[in-house]
Every structure is written in C-alpha cells, then in structure tokens.
Amino acid sequence: MSGVGTAGPGEDSSGLAPATRCVALGRPAPVGGAPVNPPIVLSSTFHHGGDRVYARESTPTTEAFEAALGGLEGGRALAFASGMAAAAATLALVPVGGVVVAPRSAYMGVLTLLREGAAEGRYTVREVDPTDTQAVVAALPGADLVWLESPSNPLLDVADLPALLAAAREHGVTSVVDNTFPTPLGARPLDLGADIVMHSATKYLAGHSDLLLGALVTADRIPDVHDRLAHHRHLHGATAGVFDAWLALRGLRTLAVRFERACANAADLAGRLADHPAVQRVRFPGAGAMLAIEVRGGAPAAEAVCAATRLWVHSTSLGGVESQLERRRRYASEPDVVPDSLVRLSVGIEDIEDLWADLAQALAHAHDRTAAPAAGDRPQESGHDRHR
C-alpha cells in the first residue's frame, strides 16, 4: 500500500545507520509544501477508487509507523492495538491441533495466552528452558511455531537465537521472536533467519509510558505470512489507533539516544548492585536497559524496596524514560520459575547518581527491615511501616 509513510528514504534505507533510520523513516514524500511529519488522519473510511478502503484495514498514520519500524527491523511491519494483540495474531497461524514450542519463562501474558489455548484444546504447547539450546532444538520436530524471547521478561534469560532460528528453519517451524527488550537497535532477528519479529511498542519504541501499541514485522521472503497477519488484524479488529501510532512514531525518533543512555545507566547500576549487601543476585545479560535483582529477605523485603523508592516509579511496564521497578511474583499468573524475591528494574534516562541514591536508600531500608527480625524482635512490624 503506497501510504504517506512509505515515501522518502523509507524506500531505500539500506545505507543508513540505525540511529538515522529512527529519525528519517516514515515521513511524507519531500515535496514542496508537504508536512515534514505524517498527519494524524482521523477518518474511518476512504473514498472509493484508491487502495485504502476502511480504517480497520489500514490508515496513512499507522502506515507511517509501519514504514519506520519495517525499515529498522528489515522487513514489513504491521501495527496492532497492543503487544498482546500482535502476539495473539501469530498464534492464529497455528492450525487447530498444532504444536507450539515456547519458553517456560516467556512474558507472562504470552505464556498465559498459550496455556489457556492449550487448555481449550486448540493446540499443544511444549514448554522448554530457552537457555538449553539442545532441549529447544529437540522440541522442534513436528512443531508449527516456536516462540522466542531473548533476553526474556523478567528473568533476562538469553537464548542462542542464531542456532535456534537456524534449527527452526531446518525443521520448517515458523519462528516468532519477541524483540521488545533488545529493540531493533540491539538485535535484528530477521537477519538471523526469524520469520516474524514481535514488539510491544508500548515499551522502548514509544518510550514514554503513554500509549499501548504492538507490531509484527515479517521477513520479505514470506509475503503470504504478512498477508495472513494483515487479514487477521482486519477481521479481529486488532487495528492500532491512529493517535497511539502517531505518538509511537514520535517516540521512535529519539529511540537511539534514549536507549543509549538507558543502557549506560543499566550497566552502571548492575555493577553497583552486585556489591550491595541487600542484593543476593543481579541478572544483567550485559545488553539492554533491563535488570533484575533478587533481594535478600524474600518477597517481603522485595516489596519493601519497591515501596521505599521515591524517584523510581513503583508500577508495572517498562521501557519508558522514567525508571520503574516491580516485584513480578505479585501477579498470580507470573510463572513460578521467577523467584519470589525478584524485582524487575526498567532503567530510564535520569541522572545515574539520582537513580543510585534512591535505589540505595530503598535497599538499605529493606535491609534494616529484614535484618532486625534475626536479632530477635520485629519492632518495625508495628506503626507506620505497615502502611507503606
């Protein structure tokens, strides 16, 4: 579809660096008097005679976002109403009675969706340890789809994507990679042989915790899969809203600088946290801006850390400019491979010393709190602490 977003450097961005693509792609054609940014087109329907019919199928605004993300990932993008809408669309590719291979540490929403689909008898799910490459490869024969996520949310498990994607192609298994954590600046799974890349654009791509959006990007060699996913989106009404798509493209313009700063902050914090007496384990695969810590003293201590921060925002979600933290097992559906004391940290772009000072005081608070009962009494159980 020749939308407003597919003109300009989007047609041939192969020579441009990723940071430049973030800025340059998805703009209207550079003709005199044309807007520099794609307009927000608020119309549910389009005049007969063109290649656009109804906004549930496509809009000029969502196409601009798709042109930019497609150019970053090296494939054809489709925007969805949310990351979960995008994930659900890929599962519709699995025939009834088919087989899905998935990590048992996959993102909670995806795992729940898979388990519920399996419980309803729609398909079988083979749950694997994504860090055990041999076990994943052994689960592939006869499968229809393999779901991969690396580093994973929230365990930060790293899978051997080149090996697993090569094995998936060898066995004719459709591969989907959730690329939300690495972003296209950290990984380009289509280049490694993936069929489909999935994004929760809600997170880093948009980057400001102010919208919901999902995306799928398919490899150019499988246009039929793009068409099936577009058809699914159309008939299931999983269409992205134009305001959200526009804001996400606005956010994408600064992805490279935001991500660089957030990654530097995360690496710095990972080092400082490793030496902190209240921290039992730091999970940081060395790339990206996501961290997880296991707090000494179990779930109560982990909750105490989350409750005691002032700058870090105690909330779910991730990938925004503001640093956020959350104990993931507070949700009953979080897989039990996630430790009870694990706090997920989404590192933002604030000043590193401010971030550390706030985290250190919250950790000290939790440490004092858990250290006291070992001394024999629990004075801090009474009074104001309970209301934190």
Angle at 153 between CA 148 and CA 157, to 5 degrees: 65
Q: Which region among 9-17, 102-110, 258-266, 330-338 touches ligand PLP (by CB under 6 A)?
A: 102-110
What is the smallest separation between the CB atom of 153 and ligand PLP, expressed in angstroms? 4
**150 counts as binding ligand PLP under rule CB under 6 A:** no
Calculate Rg over the CA atoms of the chain: 22
Q: Which helix (H) or strand (E) holds 290?
A: strand 290-295
Q: 341, 368 in Cβ contact below 8 A?
A: no
Q: What is the separation of C-alpha 177 from the centre of its chain, rounded to a whole number of angstroms?
A: 10
Of 110 and 308, the one with the shorter C-beta distance to ligand PLP is: 110
**212 counts as binding ligand PLP under rule CB under 6 A:** yes
Instruction: Give the pairing of strands 214-218 and 313-314.
Output: unpaired
Residue 79 CB-density burial (10 A; 0-12 exposed, 13-18 middle, 19+ buried): buried
**346 counts as binding ligand PLP under rule CB under 6 A:** no
Of 296 and 344, the one with the shorter C-beta distance to ligand PLP is: 344
154 prior amide bond cis, ω within 30: yes
- Sites for ligand PLP among residues 189-208 (CB under 6 A): 200, 202-203
- From the list 144, 157, 160, 178, the catalytic residue is 178
What is the smallest separation between the CB atom of 219 and ligand PLP, expressed in angstroms? 20
**77 counts as binding ligand PLP under rule CB under 6 A:** no
Residue 95 CB-density burial (10 A; 0-12 exposed, 13-18 middle, 19+ buried): exposed
**102 counts as binding ligand PLP under rule CB under 6 A:** no
Q: 28, 7 in Cβ contact below 8 A?
A: yes
Residue with token string 């690329």: 179
**3 counts as binding ligand PLP under rule CB under 6 A:** no
**98 counts as binding ligand PLP under rule CB under 6 A:** no
- Sites for ligand PLP among residues 283-342 (CB under 6 A): none
- Judged by CB under 6 A, the residue of 63, 178, 244, 326 near ligand PLP is 178
Of 109 and 186, the one with the shorter C-beta distance to ligand PLP is: 109
- Judged by CB under 6 A, the residue of 60, 193, 214, 251 near ligand PLP is 214
- Judged by CB under 6 A, the residue of 107, 123, 204, 312 near ligand PLP is 107
54 catalytic per annotation = no
Q: 66, 201 in Cβ contact below 8 A?
A: no
| Strand residues in 91-247 grouped as ranges (E) | 98-103, 123-128, 145-149, 174-178, 196-200, 214-218
What is the smallest separation between the CB atom of 306 and ligand PLP, expressed in angstroms? 18
- From the list 107, 188, 327, 369, the catalytic residue is 107
d(CA 355, CA 204): 19
- Judged by CB under 6 A, the residue of 83, 103, 182, 348 near ligand PLP is 83
56 catalytic per annotation = yes
- From the list 56, 115, 169, 228, the catalytic residue is 56
- Judged by CB under 6 A, the residue of 7, 67, 69, 84 near ligand PLP is 84
Residue with token string 């199928």: 57
d(CA 201, CA 185): 14
122 catalytic per annotation = no
Q: Which region among 81-89, 127-135, 231-239, 367-375 touches ligand PLP (by CB under 6 A)?
A: 81-89
Side-chain half-sphere of 79: how many Cα atoms within 13 Å? 33
- Catalytic positions are 56, 107, 178, 203
Which residues lie near ligand PLP (CB under 6 A)?
82-84, 107, 109-110, 149, 153, 178, 180-181, 200, 202-203, 212, 214
